[in-house]
Chain A
Amino acid sequence: MPDSTASAGPLDGHRPDGVSGAAIDLVGVTKSYPGQGGAAVDRISLQIPAGEIVMLVGPSGCGKTTTLKMINRLIEPTSGTITIDGRDVLSLDGDELRRQIGYVIQAGGLFPHMSVATNVGIVPGMLRWEKKRIAERTDELLELVGLDPAKYRDRYPGELSGGQQQRVGVARALAADPPVLLMDEPFGAVDPITRQRLQDELLRIQDELRKTIVCVTHDFDEAVKLGDRIVVLGEGARVVQYDTPAQVLAHPADPFVEDFVGSGAALKALTLTRVGELEALQETTTARVGDAVADVVARARAVGDAAAVVLDDRGRPQRWPWLRQLQAEGDVVLDRVEDVLSVDRRATLNAALDAMLGSRYGGVVVTGKNDVYEGVLFLQTAIDAVATTRGGSGDDGPVPVAGNDEDAARALAGEGAS
């Protein structure tokens, strides 16, 4: 348990299994404001496993943001304990603590008078990193969030789009490699298309980093898409349900959750399956510039394909022409403006289906790391795969504790001591 020596060192969750996040436990945490009837947050106990994304969802005013802000003590709890990686955060200096916890708010919260690089380097600067190390880290992070450092590091937030600002906000939060990332409605201020893209990118980043992410949203669809687990909160931060998205969709705990899930639970479940998990990818004929057309056509015909995917020299799909189109052109060329419909293997089945429905082949090209071609996915095989995986295994390891009563608090406190 926390003592003076433990609180001196940095929070660190780095583990050999690639999880860089730290477990967070809230035990009987309450926040009440003087002069208000009920507590804003009433004795919440919540176990957040290391390396997972846990979404706090609920109607506005339910205390989800208050709960989040108590983890980094932007709001001081009235009572209860919060531990990160087994260490009591209430025993640490608030500012020191917050430098070790990433914090992302709506629209990024970037400082408009600081360049992108300065914004990202704030926390490392406060931690007295050397200038050179900060510059390297900044570039690394901009790269990670998909912004070309050479192009963006010296720009100011006012010169960026909303989506780009949000990316910089994520980069800034990750700057000192914190084990925990707190996000408060991070994608609330961007348009739906950008939001989708940012969500996909967050998942990609999380694949790499495996931080512990606690994210507040009022958008249930976002919770389903991003969360490893969802906490549905009612008034006073009452834990109504704490479960995986699949379970919440399939078995809402009560009418309140059902209401919150809304209609079309089966459709929403499509966002839970990733293209890469389907094992329904098919090989198709590929061609590269310089390949003889006759050769390509012969190969395609041999396996019954009517079209071939043209790859560039880095293996990225560029076109998906019919064979007769290739024959008409005479050469395998790249410089034809055609939108090849491709989705990342981490894309949701929902997104893939959307792409397929717009494709003249009833299928879509699937890409992996660095946008390299992996295979194609067709509508029929996708549907078959969904039918076989539906229901899910339901095995998500030990169920973490959550609740607002003595039992939950005791279960957690007992565990923390062992």
Chain B
Amino acid sequence: MDLWDFVAERREQIAFQAFQHVSLVVQSVLLATALGVALGVVCHRRAWARGLAATVSSVGLTLPALAVIAVVYGATGQGVTAAVSAVTLYALLVIWRNAVVGLSGVDGQLLEAARGLGMGATRRLLRVQLPLAWPVILSGVRVSTQMVMGIAAIAAYVTGPGLGGLIFTGLTRLGGAGALESALTGTVLVVLLALVLDLLLVLLGRATTSRGIRA
């Protein structure tokens, strides 16, 4: 049995798993972006909070994914909630740090100019700080998306959804019929979908970054 037959026979099931995988990643990254930016807004003004963000995110990224997933499952039980929580947590680490870096990198002179024009704190945030920090935040979103495509596959080891299922069933039955094909299909699809998502994010960046600050 070659790879093509394997895919052709199970195309509906594979398509569904691919959809689940992407859906998990997209939802988690969206959630992580909202949380990360909010945390960044809260943290970026104080030096100790900036330090905290940097430390937590670099330590967090060194933790083995499987261990984190195990802990989250222990806390929330199996199911979609657990998968989303674990994947969001990972995405959050990068986005939070980048949000802090992006927001604190906005020139203080500009913020004072904004204040001098009579812009209140909310308006300064929405019209000056976030648009200027956006390219940095978005690059965090891109990195985290790539990263959690892989993490989501590992999350599937414990619960069902996504391409992780294909990979792990293949690996555990390695040597059996269609086992290699299963693992290969899962892996290749994760890589392909990661590339597609990255491309979409690049296009999003083009559309949402002001021409004035595009590199």
Chain A residues with CB under 8 Å of chain B are 72, 74, 95-100, 103, 105-107, 109-115, 122-123, 126, 156-158, 172, 182
Contact = CB atoms under 8 A, between A and B. Distances in A.
A105 B113 contact: yes
A107 B127 CA distance: 20
Interface stretch (B20-28, B89-97, B118-126): B118-126
Nearest to B128: A111
Given A112-B212, A113-B213, A103 B119 contact: no
A126 B118 contact: yes
- Among all A-B residue pairs, the 4 with the closest Cβ atoms: A109-B113, A156-B212, A99-B118, A103-B116
B65 interface: no
A109 B110 contact: yes
B11 interface: no
A250 B211 CA distance: 52
Interface residues of B, number: 20
B118 A98 contact: yes
Contact of A126 (B116, B123, B213): B123
17 contacts: A95-B119, A95-B120, A96-B118, A98-B118, A99-B117, A105-B109, A106-B109, A112-B132, A112-B210, A113-B213, A122-B119, A123-B118, A126-B117, A126-B119, A156-B210, A156-B213, A158-B213
A123 B116 CA distance: 10
A100 B118 CA distance: 8
Contacts of B114: 111
Contacts of B118: 95-100, 123, 126
A103 B212 CA distance: 22
Contacts of A126: 117-119, 123
B115 interface: yes
B112 interface: yes
Given A98-B117, A122-B117, A105 B112 contact: yes
B160 interface: no
B213 A98 contact: no
A109 B212 contact: no
Nearest to A94: B118
B123 A74 contact: no
Contacts of A109: 109-110, 112-113, 116
A111 B119 contact: no
Contacts of A112: 110, 132, 210, 212-213
A74 B212 contact: no
A106 B113 CA distance: 10
Given A109-B109, A109-B112, A172 B212 contact: no
B205 interface: no
* Residue with the greatest number of chain A CB neighbours at <10 A, chosen from B109, B110, B116, B128: B116
Nearest to A96: B118
B131 interface: yes
Nearest to A127: B118
Contacts of A114: 210, 212
A114 B132 CA distance: 10
Given A103-B117, A156-B212, A157-B212, A113 B112 contact: no
A115 B212 contact: yes
A74 B123 CA distance: 16
Given A126-B123, A156-B212, A98 B115 contact: yes
A153 to B, nearest CB: 13
A74 B117 contact: no
A113 B116 contact: no
Interface in B157-215: 210-213
Contacts of B110: 109, 111-112
Given A112-B213, A156-B210, A156-B211, A172 B117 contact: yes
